[in-house]
Amino acid sequence: MEITKPLISEAKSYSPTVLNFDVVIVGGAMTGATLALAIEYFTDAGLSIAVVEAAIHDNSHPGYDARSIALSYSSCNLLERIGIWRALSHFSSAIKSIHVSDQGHFGLTEMHAQHDNFPFFGNVIELIHAGQVFFSAFKTAKNITFFCPAIVLSVEREQKCIKLTLSSGQALQAQLLVAADGTTSSCCAMVGIGHHEHDFNQVAVVANITTSMPHHGRAFERFTSSGPLALLPMSEARSSLVWCVTPLEAPKLLALSDNNFLDALQCAFGWRLGHLVHVGQRNTYPLILHQSTQLISHRFAAVGNAAQTLHPIAGQGFNLGLRDVIALAEEIASAYREAKDCGDIALLLRYQKRRTHDRDNTIAMTSGLVYGFSNTSIPLVLSRNLGLASMSIFHEIKAPLLQKAMGLIE
């Protein structure tokens, strides 16, 4: 994708000059791009920012592929704060109601945004459209320089700065390095930050589905014996599918013809959207909880999937990462207004303190939902279905979980 600023990494001859920035962000997909734009917005372009991205930003970029992302109500508001939501909203599909059910059991509940005086619970955006919006925003940014394609080869930390060497031959120096380079963050590894890992023994099958009945903004979360199945509303009468199955089932589902796959999905999901008439390209990815052992280190911070990668149940992953981004951007902006070092350890400690409670609670909630709804123990099946049924009757039971899902409480 053409951008107004030169792709420095494509220079034919390399200068030994070290390029100085205030902040270097490694990872230019949605999390890293949002952080760069948030810092620019909160500081009125007062800080110089470098974004280093390995993949060329086109329709095949792994951060902006055919998948969709569910933005919570709070996330939409956060993106509006930094001036990006209006452009994204043109490509969004509002979630106006959420239907939750347990396959083969009586428990179900349904939530409607208008009943709780909200315009929507969230919005679904296709990542490829999000990429177009963010790269357009980069074109007009005043103080963001984009290095692509480029890989960080080495990181060297000194007392008052951090230095990076790129695969292009360029050398960068900054006060702060932020890792937004995803689950297998090379930057975290380079500064000695490890991660805890837990395998849920599930694989997500993702695809776009066309249904015979319009979705009318309805999102569905259906719990099956092999894992949760979600259908989220999209444009053009489509829904975004995330179907969590066992590692043995996943390759069998990929090997099915489109018609046979739709038949299997129809059996698992039911007929609430009528006949499932078309499926797009199917992909899979293993579901493993990754959690970095630290959020910060000397002149270093991790955000988004580099800090934690969650199970997709309840759609909390990116929304949690966005709260990382905004908290860090606010702390950086505060330091800028006070003419302080934006990589100072006091700033980083404040960021860590702000994020620890929300991070731990959200990881516990999503992991608990996975185990609670994958367990076939009769007492647990009965209790969770009673819980779902009670949520349909008593708003006081439903409200806290709904507010957490919408990002209104941390």
Is residue 23 in a domain? yes
Is residue 1 in a domain? no
Is residue 363 located within the same domain as residue 381? no
Cβ(138)–Cβ(39) below 8 Å? no
Closest alpha carbon to 389 in 133, 109, 89: 109
SS3 280: coil
Is residue 59 in a domain? yes
pLDDT computed for residue 358 by the predictor:
95
Is residue 282 located within the same domain as residue 292? no
Q: Determine the Cα–Cα distance for residues 308 and 303; give it in Å rounded to an integer.
A: 8
pLDDT of the chain, 410 residues: tens digit per residue: 333 343 433 333 445 589 999 999 999 999 999 999 999 999 999 999 999 999 876 545 554 455 789 999 999 999 999 999 999 999 999 999 998 887 655 457 788 898 888 999 999 999 888 988 998 999 899 999 999 999 999 999 999 999 999 998 999 999 999 999 999 999 999 999 999 999 999 999 999 999 999 999 999 988 887 788 999 999 888 999 999 999 999 999 999 999 999 999 999 999 999 999 999 999 999 999 999 999 999 999 999 999 999 999 878 999 999 999 999 999 999 999 999 999 999 999 999 999 999 999 999 988 877 776 655 555 444 554 455 444 454 454 445 555 655 665 66
Residue 171 φ/ψ region, left for φ over 0, alpha for ψ in the -120 to 50 degree band, beta for the rest: beta
Is residue 35 in a domain? yes
Is residue 187 located within the same domain as residue 233? no
Is residue 170 in a domain? yes
Q: Determine the Cα–Cα distance for residues 142 and 117; give it in Å rounded to an integer.
A: 38
Closest alpha carbon to 342 in 169, 194, 162: 162
CATH number of the structural domain spanning residue 251: 3.30.9.10
Is residue 359 located within the same domain as residue 226? no
pLDDT computed for residue 374 by the predictor:
57
Is residue 135 located within the same domain as residue 49? yes
Is residue 314 located within the same domain as residue 330? yes
Q: Which helix (H) or strand (E) holds 26?
A: strand 23-26
Is residue 207 located within the same domain as residue 274? yes
Q: Determine the Cα–Cα distance for residues 254 and 225; give it in Å rounded to an integer.
A: 19
Q: Determine the Cα–Cα distance for residues 190 and 21; give it in Å rounded to an integer.
A: 20
In the chain, the number of structural domains is 2
Is residue 157 in a domain? yes
Tokens of 37: 């734009």
Cβ(188)–Cβ(46) below 8 Å? no
Is residue 178 located within the same domain as residue 48? yes
Is residue 157 located within the same domain as residue 230? no
Is residue 106 located within the same domain as residue 148? no
Is residue 192 in a domain? yes
Per DSSP, 285 falls in state E
pLDDT computed for residue 389 by the predictor:
46
Is residue 299 located within the same domain as residue 282? no
Q: Which domain holds residue 63?
A: 8-83+127-196+288-367
Tokens of 153: 């080869």
CATH number of the structural domain spanning residue 177: 3.50.50.60
pLDDT computed for residue 383 by the predictor:
54
Give 192-240 as a DSSP string: T--EEEEEEEEEEEEEEEEESS--TTEEEEEEETTEEEEEEE-STTEEE
What are phi and psi for residue 29, nearest 5 degrees?
Answer: -80, -155
Is residue 410 in a domain? no
SS3 73: helix
SS3 327: helix
Is residue 155 located within the same domain as residue 226? no
What are phi and psi for residue 359, nearest 5 degrees?
Answer: -60, -50
